[in-house]
């Protein structure tokens, strides 16, 4: 860059003093570059300046003329009206502002102004007028109009900084420094993707030319806008490519499993693998055989059979004399995985252990001595003091909140083990590319046979009797029921129905049934007992909070009631629903919503009743919530996207990724593009060290 725009403070810009600088800081604008990256949220068409005699009531018009007269009137206490007459030689129009007496000083008679606003008829045939129009003075110089006579940008702003002021600041900044913007993206990449240069793109996205299409602009589809979004994706993917390339240069374990344990396991299972399971296992296997530390994401909807695949991979490591670990996000899940794995691997003669924070006996010494083959646990596994003799493979389950940086910590913990990340929340492709962009990806896109789709129905409070009837019939015919509440207990802050009161009510309503309760404040061991009772059939109705959200496996559970369904996010509803329909029994899910429902809640619930397809649900969720909210992206260690939008600009992500990865493959340290390398390090600054100085 000619001038270092990210380091150039915005307060040295013409028209920005310390006070405005403070307000701008509230918007995250500190440097000139920050300001340039603060793009309009929409555009307004103020191109046509109309003759005053041609303006029509009911239309939004822009006119220009001389101030003929003005007056400030005190109508009554607390109401002052400033009125202005403007003439352009074809006619006269009034401007009216309420309680802005200072305008009297600004609008001197004879000044040339432009007004823009909705036109209406004044009181008692007083002619045409505009209430609170936007205004701009035409100076004596040849300065172009900023706020009128063009397509104007409208910015998200903050209190005490008007959209107009902010527009003025941006205009000055671009005028002073627009030409200093340096384009670091190689020209061939731009050419291949039909993208214009960066300086003109930034300019054009802020202050579009007169021939642009307003609809295209507001949809963020012009070439200039696309270029700006492309850059952000490109920097993001370039960083991920460097991370991945760096990993490829590290040495990992080259496994050479003989398949004996895996064969034994498969022979003992009451089912055969689906084609998808077989394929994903082969992908994992070829990772394991390679000499590089593998990092693979296994995506599969709830119930697609990830656990078996993970176990097969772990057995592969054990066959080669290494240890394997399986890490789950909660104690319940860790215990369940432990029981599962132990159950399946029973006849294989392996030492399998559980390690959680609250476990009384911690097999720390056996883990260190190598006496244990497979450890299942929680985050306790990666805490200090836990050392493996030779960890070869780590499987991380359900870790969509586990980002790039945390994975880096885990890698340092052991001698570059292979890492598998399993997630049951299907992630839309676009998001997977950013969240897990440095990983290889496998998808379990096929359900084991014999599953029936979960019939999902929506009820409101007035249908409650019907809901009770369905529950009662389900239990009577041998089914088991989950009832999920959003909170453990009632409070003043959240007037929601709670699990604790829900349990009481259900016990009263169904005195003949066994009703039990679990939630996050109940001790893990106790929770486990309750879960086992439910699994064993000693409990008919299990009332709970979202502690059962992930992974808990009770194939006999055939009905779920979600109370306050309107309160849950789409992905969460899908996760919850995945707890039923895991056996051969026909299953159902009842969504009980308390109104009045907002439009968004309505859409979420409709999607749930329409489809069981996890990927479709994930796409909808991303669309509804936006990428920032989706699954806590912010914690993932990915630089925030300021301009690009994963939904709106989805089509740009793939080319950006392709270009970034092929560039890094050809030139891993960007020796041929030092400016790009510098820009890249700035983009990722403080997030992760991209280029290690070896
Ligand atoms: P996920 O972890 O993907 O939600 P699980 O691995 O827990 O799914 O599998 C769900 C259930 O399906 C388990 O009871 C498991 O034993 C069973 N299962 C797994 N693979 C198959 C298969 N190929 N055929 C039949 N059942 C399977
Ligand atoms: Mg699972």
159-215 pLDDT, tens digit each:
889 888 899 999 999 999 999 999 999 999 999 999 999 999 999 999 999 999 999
CA–centroid distance, residue 274 to ligand 1 (Å):
10
Output the CA–CA distances (angstroms, integers) from residue 29 to 248, 642, 665, in the order listed: 38, 11, 35
H or E element, residue 313: helix 306-319
pLDDT score of 540 more than 60: yes
Q: Which residues pair with 563 in a beta bridge?
A: 592
User: Number of structural domains, the chain?
Assistant: 4
How far is it, in rounded angstroms, from Cα 387 to Cα 364?
Answer: 8
Classify residue 322: in a domain, yes or no. yes
What is the residue-averaged pLDDT of the chain? Answer: 87
pLDDT score of 238 more than 50: yes
> Closest Cα to atom 24, ligand 1: which residue?
448
Which among 301, 308, 312, 579 is the best mutation to test ligand 1's pocket, defined by most ligand atoms within 8 Å of the CB? 308
Q: Do 420 and 506 lie in a common domain? A: no
Classify residue 596: in a domain, yes or no. yes
Percent of the chain with pLDDT over 90: 54
396 SS3 class: strand
- Structure confidence at residue 638 (pLDDT): 60
pLDDT score of 1 more than 50: no
DSSP 8-class letter at 140: S
CA–centroid distance, residue 358 to ligand 1 (Å):
28
CATH of the domain at 554: 3.40.50.300
Q: Is the CB of 46 under 6 A from ligand 1?
A: no
The last residue of a domain, from among 565, 580, 611: 611
Q: Is the model more confident about 493 or about 86? A: 86
Classify residue 338: in a domain, yes or no. yes
- Write out the residues surrounding ion ligand 2, Cβ under 5 A: 307, 551
Residue with tokens 């693979």: 296
The last residue of a domain, from among 558, 587, 611: 611
- Structure confidence at residue 628 (pLDDT): 56
How far is it, in rounded angstroms, from Cα 429 to Cα 217?
Answer: 26
Q: Count of CB atoms within 10 A of residue 368's CB?
A: 14
Q: Is the CB of 271 under 6 A from ligand 1?
A: yes
Q: Work out the average pLDDT over 218-234.
A: 95
Classify residue 199: in a domain, yes or no. yes
Q: Is the CB of 583 under 6 A from ligand 1?
A: no
Q: Is the CB of 274 under 6 A from ligand 1?
A: yes
CATH of the domain at 75: 2.40.50.140
Q: Do 469 and 506 lie in a common domain? A: yes
Q: Count of CB atoms within 10 A of residue 566's CB?
A: 22
Residue from 315, 304, 467 nearest 398 by CA? 304
Q: Is the CB of 575 under 6 A from ligand 1?
A: no
318, 373 in Cβ contact below 8 A? yes
How far is it, in rounded angstroms, from Cα 334 to Cα 346?
Answer: 17
Q: Do 162 and 119 lie in a common domain? A: no
Q: Do 40 and 56 lie in a common domain? A: no
Classify residue 623: in a domain, yes or no. no
- Structure confidence at residue 34 (pLDDT): 93
Q: Which two three-digit tokens encode residue 516?
A: 């039990």
pLDDT score of 131 more than 50: yes
- Structure confidence at residue 650 (pLDDT): 85
Classify residue 276: in a domain, yes or no. yes
DSSP 8-class letter at 479: -
Classify residue 234: in a domain, yes or no. no
Q: Do 75 and 110 lie in a common domain? A: yes
pTM value is: 0.72
Q: Is the CB of 65 under 6 A from ligand 1?
A: no
Q: Which two three-digit tokens encode residue 471?
A: 């529950």
Q: Do 484 and 555 lie in a common domain? A: yes
- Structure confidence at residue 405 (pLDDT): 54
CA–centroid distance, residue 377 to ligand 2 (Å):
14
Q: Which residues pair with 455 in a beta bridge?
A: 588
The last residue of a domain, from among 379, 409, 444: 444
How far is it, in rounded angstroms, from Cα 372 to Cα 353?
Answer: 7
Q: Do 395 and 461 lie in a common domain? A: no
What is the atom index within ligand 1 of the atom nearest the CA of 344?
Answer: 16
Mention every residue, 6+ apart, whose C-beta is less than 8 A from residue 441.
296, 297, 299, 432
- Structure confidence at residue 634 (pLDDT): 43
DSSP 8-class letter at 323: E
557-570 pLDDT, tens digit each:
999 999 999 999 88
Q: Do 186 and 284 lie in a common domain? A: no
pLDDT score of 596 more than 70: yes
The domain of 62 spans: 49-149
Q: Is the CB of 425 under 6 A from ligand 1?
A: no
CB-count exposure of residue 396 (10 Å: 0-12, 13-18, 19+): buried
247-271 pLDDT, tens digit each:
767 788 899 999 999 999 999 999 9
Q: Do 92 and 130 lie in a common domain? A: yes
- Structure confidence at residue 65 (pLDDT): 92
Output the CA–CA distances (angstroms, integers) from residue 458 to 507, 521, 528, 590, 607, in the order listed: 23, 29, 31, 6, 11
Tell me how long the chain is.
694
414-438 pLDDT, tens digit each:
667 888 988 877 777 777 777 777 7
Q: Is the CB of 273 under 6 A from ligand 1?
A: yes
Classify residue 622: in a domain, yes or no. no
pLDDT score of 480 more than 50: yes
Output the CA–CA distances (angstroms, integers) from residue 541 to 382, 417, 464, 477, in the order listed: 36, 42, 16, 13
The bound ligand whose nearest atom lies closest to the alpha carbon of 333 is: 2
> Per mean pLDDT, which of 257-271, 525-539, 582-596 is the most reliable?
257-271
601-628 pLDDT, tens digit each:
999 999 999 998 888 888 888 777 766 5
Pairing, β 42-46 against β 60-76: unpaired
What is the atom index within ligand 1 of the atom nearest the CA of 444?
Answer: 3
pLDDT score of 467 more than 90: yes
667, 657 in Cβ contact below 8 A? no
Q: Do 329 and 461 lie in a common domain? A: no
Extract the runs of DSSP E, i.e. beta strands, from 564-616. Answer: 588-593
Residue from 464, 411, 420 nearest 315 by CA? 420
The bound ligand whose nearest atom lies closest to the alpha carbon of 266 is: 1
Q: Which residues pair with 557 in a beta bridge?
A: 480
Q: Do 59 and 100 lie in a common domain? A: yes
Q: Do 438 and 484 lie in a common domain? A: no
Pairing, β 455-460 against β 541-544: unpaired
């Amino acid at each position: 860059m000619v001038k270092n725009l990210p380091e150039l403070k915005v307060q040295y810009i013409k028209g920005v003093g310390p006070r405005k600088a403070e307000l701008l800081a509230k918007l995250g604008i500190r440097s000139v570059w920050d300001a340039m990256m603060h793009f309009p949220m929409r555009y307004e068409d103020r191109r046509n300046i109309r003759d005053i005699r041609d303006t029509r009531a009911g239309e939004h018009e822009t006119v220009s003329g001389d101030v003929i007269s003005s007056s400030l009137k005190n109508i009554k206490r607390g109401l002052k009206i400033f009125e202005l007459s403007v003439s352009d030689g074809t006619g006269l129009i009034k401007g009216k502002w309420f309680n802005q007496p200072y305008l009297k000083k600004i609008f001197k008679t004879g000044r040339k102004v432009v007004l823009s606003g909705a036109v209406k008829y004044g009181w008692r045939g007083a002619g045409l007028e505009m209430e609170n129009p936007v205004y701009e003075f035409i100076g004596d110089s040849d300065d172009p109009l900023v706020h009128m006579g063009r397509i104007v940008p409208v910015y998200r702003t903050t209190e005490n900084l008007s959209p107009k002021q902010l527009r003025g600041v941006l205009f000055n900044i671009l005028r002073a420094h627009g030409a200093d913007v340096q384009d670091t993206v190689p020209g061939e990449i731009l050419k291949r993707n039909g993208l214009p240069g960066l300086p003109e793109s930034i300019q054009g996205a802020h202050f579009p030319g007169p021939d642009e299409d307003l609809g295209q602009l507001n949809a963020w589809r012009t070439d200039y806008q696309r270029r700006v979004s492309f850059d952000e994706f490109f920097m993001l993917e370039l960083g991920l490519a460097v991370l991945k390339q760096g990993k490829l240069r590290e040495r990992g374990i080259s496994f050479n499993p003989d398949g004996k344990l895996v064969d034994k396991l498969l022979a003992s299972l009451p089912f055969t693998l689906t084609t998808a399971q077989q394929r994903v296992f082969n992908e994992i296997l070829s990772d394991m055989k390679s000499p590089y530390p593998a990092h693979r994401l296994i995506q599969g909807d709830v119930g697609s059979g990830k656990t078996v695949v993970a176990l097969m991979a772990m057995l592969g490591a054990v066959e080669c004399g290494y240890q394997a670990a399986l890490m789950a996000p909660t104690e319940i899940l860790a215990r369940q995985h432990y029981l599962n794995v132990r159950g399946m691997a029973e006849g294989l003669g392996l030492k399998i252990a559980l390690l959680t924070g609250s476990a009384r006996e911690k097999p720390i010494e056996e883990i260190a001595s190598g006496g244990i083959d497979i450890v299942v646990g929680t985050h306790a596994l990666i805490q200090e003091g836990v050392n493996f003799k030779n960890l070869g493979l780590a499987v991380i389950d359900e870790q969509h909140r586990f980002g790039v940086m945390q994975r880096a910590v885990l890698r340092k913990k052991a001698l570059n083990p292979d890492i598998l990340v399993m997630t049951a929340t299907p992630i839309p492709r676009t998001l997977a590319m950013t969240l897990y962009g440095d990983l290889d990806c496998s998808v379990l896109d096929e359900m084991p046979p014999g599953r029936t789709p979960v019939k999902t129905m929506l009820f409101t409070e007035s249908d409650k009797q019907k809901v009770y009837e369905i529950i009662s019939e389900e239990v009577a015919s041998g089914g088991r029921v989950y009832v999920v509440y959003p909170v453990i207990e009632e409070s003043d802050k959240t007037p929601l129905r709670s699990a604790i009161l829900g349990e009481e009510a259900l016990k009263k309503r169904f005195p003949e049934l066994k009703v039990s309760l679990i939630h996050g404040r109940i001790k893990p061991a106790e929770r486990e007992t309750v879960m086992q009772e439910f699994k064993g059939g000693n409990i008919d109705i299990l009332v709970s909070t979202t502690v059962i959200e992930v992974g808990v496996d009770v194939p006999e559970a055939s009905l779920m009631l979600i109370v306050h369904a309107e309160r849950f996010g789409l992905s969460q509803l899908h996760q919850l629903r995945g707890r039923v329909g895991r056996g051969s029994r026909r299953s159902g899910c009842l969504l009980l919503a308390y109104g009045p429902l907002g439009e968004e809640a309505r859409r979420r619930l409709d999607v749930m009743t329409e489809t069981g397809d996890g990927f479709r649900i994930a796409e909808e969720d991303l669309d509804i919530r936006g990428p920032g909210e989706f699954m806590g992206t912010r914690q993932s260690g990915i630089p925030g996207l300021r301009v690009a939008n994963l939904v709106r600009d989805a089509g740009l992500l793939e080319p950006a990724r392709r270009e970034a990865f092929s560039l890094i493959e050809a030139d891993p340290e960007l020796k041929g593009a030092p400016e790009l390398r510098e820009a890249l390090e700035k983009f990722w600054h403080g997030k992760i060290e991209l280029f290690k100085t070896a």
